[in-house]
Structure 1
Amino acid sequence: MGKNKLARFAENRTLPNVFQPTREEALNNFYLKGKWRSEVFKNQNPLVLELGCGKGEYSVGLAKAFPEKNFIGIDIKGARFWFGAKEAINEGMTNVAFLRTQIELIDCFFEKDEVDEIWITFPDPQIKYRRTKHRMTHPDFLERYKKILKKDGMIHLKTDSEFLHGYTLGLLQGAGHDIITAHHDIYGAPEYDPGTPLLREIKTYYEGLFSAKGKTITYIKFRIK
């Protein structure tokens, strides 16, 4: 492991906007479950999660654009979201935090109806069949999201993977979930209005790389029935 990564891991332990619980803590009634608004953000504003947040650009970008909401970027790779956590602290932002954990444990950290909205940004599409259950829009994951989302809570999937886009659309349609909007190329059709503010303006690190290589960026907004 590189020295830079080790330094970031060490600094993460000192950052007030970073939470790194153990698996045991997650499975044994995590102390912030149901209390993120009151204990971390000190308000009752809507709570939005970004799953697989990478370097945290999207979480920070959304938090800047919507100061009336609270945002939590979630990823298992703390050395990556260190960048977002540091930026938020340097800019005095109090409406964004970061949680280091596996997405499989997401319902261990949030109470029923605690979350208003979820963003899934550029996840690994897990193309191989034996990895199907690891896709972040697999029914098992959707059930976890349903446990913590409010009744009309929205989920956004932004990906460069046409495979994952198609898989997710088929799954949602087959299960009777509510697809609000879907598009296979959000930058290739400038006239297209996705109904989601700043969908094109805020980009993740990987989105910038993919777009520069000419890859299309797809988007789905949906609710779980």
Structure 2
Amino acid sequence: MSRKKLQRFQDNEENWNVVQEGKEIFEQVKGKWNGLQFQNRQPLTVELACGRGEFTVGLARQYPNRNFIGVDIKGARIWKGSTIALEEDLNNVSFLRTQIQLLDKFFDQGEISELWITFPDPYPRDGDEKRRLTSPRFLEMYKSMLKQDGLVHFKSDNTGLFDYTLALVQSREDIEIVAYTYDFYSSDWKNEHHGIQTKYEKIFSEKGEKIKYLKFRFL
């Protein structure tokens, strides 16, 4: 492992805004994010597969009266967003280092107000359906953790994954679709995202890929 990566892991150990295994709060934070981590009562927004945290940090800049948590398993990626948030004194941002399939170990029923799923791995093979972050088992997990009328936002460059997700959501009587588009940057909803883009979203857009977007809530 490189010296740079080792230093980043050490920084994660010391940075208050990184919640990871080995820290006391890691075992205690479920249902207590606002009390233990943020020490306020602001609504909680979570981004899954946040990578370097560009979107999490970008939203936190725009909405200082909300708390934001980026979730990813890669510590070196989380380090980037964590460091930027500390440099900018953004006290409404934290990062959780864990596998997303373990998310229900860290968030209690009705604890999340808004959820973002941004450019996840499409897992195109039929045998990998359960690994997709919009598969039925993950949707059930999200439903339990979201507040009533809490919103889910899904963005992807992958048409196959988007078609799969849209069809699944449309088939469920307990879900209301608020909006969807196959060309986000030509849609009426682009301004709602304040021009915030992840590294990969920029790459996809520069290659001419259309960004797909879906917003829905559980009933």
What is the TM-score with the length of structure 2 in the denominator?
0.94
- Which position in structure 2 is the counterpart of 1:2? 2
Query: Aligned residues, how many?
Result: 216
1:57 aligns with 2:51: no
- Which position in structure 2 is the counterpart of 1:115? 112
- Which position in structure 2 is the counterpart of 1:139? 136
Task: Kindly report which structure 2 residues correspond to 1:57-206, keeping only aligned pairs within 5 A, or say none.
Answer: 57-176=54-173, 177-187=175-185, 189=186, 192-194=187-189, 198-199=192-193, 201-206=195-200
Change (3 A) 1:200 1:213: farther
State the shift of 1:174 in Å. 1.0
The 1-side partners of 2:193 and 2:33 are apart by 26
Larger mean Cα displacement after TM superposition, 80-89 or 7-16 = 7-16
The 2-side partners of 1:21 and 1:117 are apart by 24
What is the TM-score with the length of structure 1 in the denominator?
0.92
Counterpart code for 1:86: T
User: Alignment RMSD, CA only?
Assistant: 1.5
Once the two structures are superposed, residues 15-69 of structure 1 have per-residue CA deviations (whole angstroms, 9 ceiling, x without a partner) of 11001126xx97xxx3111111111111111000000000000000000000010
Uncovered stretches (5+) of structure 1, i.e. residues with no partner: none
Task: Kindly report which structure 2 residues correspond to 1:5-16, keeping only aligned pairs within 5 A, or say none.
Answer: 5-16=5-16
Question: 20, 32, 35: which is aligned to 1:35?
Answer: 32
State the shift of 1:78 in Å. 1.1
CA contact (8 A) 1:57 1:204 kept: yes
- Which position in structure 1 is the counterpart of 2:211? 217
CA contact (8 A) 1:186 1:200 kept: no
Q: What is the DSSP-based 3-state SS (H/G/I as helix, E as strand, rest coil) of the residue aligned with 1:13?
A: helix
Q: What is the DSSP-based 3-state SS (H/G/I as helix, E as strand, rest coil) of the residue aligned with 1:137?
A: coil
State the shift of 1:198 in Å. 3.5
The 2-side partners of 1:126 and 1:178 are apart by 25
The 1-side partners of 2:139 and 2:191 are apart by 24
Uncovered stretches (5+) of structure 2, i.e. residues with no partner: none
CA contact (8 A) 1:60 1:84 kept: yes
Counterpart code for 2:102: L
The 2-side partners of 1:175 and 1:42 are apart by 37
The 2-side partners of 1:200 and 1:139 are apart by 30
Question: Which aligned runs of 4 or more in structure 1 are off by greater than 3 angstroms?
Answer: none
Once the two structures are superposed, residues 72-106 of structure 1 have per-residue CA deviations (whole angstroms, 9 ceiling, x without a partner) of 00000111011110000011110000000001011
The 2-side partners of 1:197 and 1:143 are apart by 30
State the shift of 1:3 in Å. 2.8
State the shift of 1:158 in Å. 0.7
Once the two structures are superposed, residues 159-195 of structure 1 have per-residue CA deviations (whole angstroms, 9 ceiling, x without a partner) of 11111111000000112221110000112x2xx212x
Task: Kindly report which structure 2 residues correspond to 1:11-26, keeping only aligned pairs within 5 A, or say none.
Answer: 11-21=11-21
Larger mean Cα displacement after TM superposition, 32-41 or 114-123 = 32-41
